[in-house]
Structure 1
């Protein structure tokens, strides 16, 4: 039987890896890497550096495949994500069939934690459900950007007895947020915090968390929103991509 390990590697700092993740790395024969283009070469470089740093006295190899892109600008967001995952499923299935021998262990190194806004687990389960490819897999949790954000700003994610909601920029912009005292927003491509009606909310914002390019901004939303927007635009232009997360809290 082929075996796969889906390993959470943290938010960007190689030191984010747990001891469980390090032990898992040392079981893998083949690491599958999804190439998202030259602008994001650093994401692949970090994965290679993690393996170089933590794998001891064991041979392994990398297999790269080009990652498909989601169709942008389509109003049917759910539909485009479904199509994207189907395309990824075909790639994953081919990699497992062609690059992994029976008895070998393959590894997917997932940014943050595999359970939070990542499609790898759904795709692997869909492959198993299709019956075309047989394997077993395990999931190793990792530190998310949510945890890293709170740690870098030295704040708790929730107030005492208060609720916490984790959502997306798309849902925040659409007003689809509950009444939680603390709201963590991920995957915000449109500066959705600018559309929040209460300027007295406190925002804790962070980009490239755990990396050498890390940027942190905190303060009253009405006071720092312009600064965050300018910083995001400059960082995206300089690096070709941006990965940021923020916490909104009633004061």
Structure 2
């Protein structure tokens, strides 16, 4: 039997780990760290730094090459194939490093329940016959870190909040019945499809890290500054993780 702990680690700041996450990491026989290419080498370095900070026992750490998603073709089909490839990579590492079972931990950005596919990938292993018992250790999300960094409430007074992706915002525009929209997984400033009048934005990148960068203001004014900063940061680091909150002006907050 493999006991799999999916551990939310926020955005890479060890101070944001919960006590439960620290305990789970130290209880693991093996922690798998994905390598995502040289351009994103900082990501595995952040995970290694977390392990160095909190591990006190003999937990083994093994890095493996993360499959790359095909950028072409139908989005759903390519993501489905990508998840199959990741499941196969996990299975191969388990066969080599935990052939007789044990406790495996994977460190998940943010929380495993919010725009992360680790649980879906684990289901593939279970469906394939691997004896796998899954536990989720929740973590801080980038959404929480964004509202904390800007010292704002998530919702307008009695208002609805929609959490969506950059791809969907670009395709569908402002979601109906929402005073507040939180946008994740935006590969390129999807807010530029909106009529900016009457909308404010709170944007953050590398939240909780030394490189944290924040912008806030009327969308019409701040959008060009965000786009320029985002491009410069991505060029400097080779990757970027950002999130933003959009709110219609005049919505009371509480």
TM-score, normalised relative to structure 1: 0.95
| Deviation of the 1:48 alpha carbon | 1.4
1:139 paired residue number: 136
TM-score, normalised relative to structure 2: 0.94
Pair 1:5 & 2:2 matched: no
| Residues 2 and 101, structure 1, Cα contact 8 Å, conserved in 2 | no
| Deviation of the 1:60 alpha carbon | 1.6
| Deviation of the 1:175 alpha carbon | 1.8
- In 2, the alpha carbon distance for the partners of 1:217 and 1:198 equals 15
2:61 paired residue number: 62
Deviations 1:168-199 (A, max 9, x none): 00000012523211100001112111111133
| Deviation of the 1:103 alpha carbon | 4.7
1:98 paired residue number: 96
- Structure 1 portions without partners, runs of 5+: none
1:119 paired residue number: 117
Deviations 1:134-154 (A, max 9, x none): 121211000011000000000
Residue of structure 1 aligned with 2:221, choices 202, 220, 223: 223
| Deviation of the 1:98 alpha carbon | 1.9
**What SS is found at the alignment partner of 1:11?**
coil
2:159 paired residue number: 162
- In 2, the alpha carbon distance for the partners of 1:144 and 1:224 equals 24
2:45 paired residue number: 45
**What SS is found at the alignment partner of 1:26?**
helix
User: Residues 148-227 of structure 1 correspond to what in structure 2 (within 5 A)?
Assistant: 148-176=145-173, 177-227=175-225
**What SS is found at the alignment partner of 2:181?**
strand
- In 1, the alpha carbon distance for the partners of 2:104 and 2:179 equals 41
| Residues 13 and 50, structure 2, Cα contact 8 Å, conserved in 1 | no
- In 2, the alpha carbon distance for the partners of 1:135 and 1:159 equals 42
2:70 paired residue number: 71
| Residues 7 and 138, structure 2, Cα contact 8 Å, conserved in 1 | yes
2:252 paired residue number: none
- In 1, the alpha carbon distance for the partners of 2:24 and 2:188 equals 37
Change (3 A) 1:171 1:117: same
- Structure 2 portions without partners, runs of 5+: 250-254
User: Residues 80-95 of structure 1 correspond to what in structure 2 (within 5 A)?
Assistant: 80-95=78-93
Pair 1:36 & 2:36 matched: yes
| Deviation of the 1:120 alpha carbon | 0.8
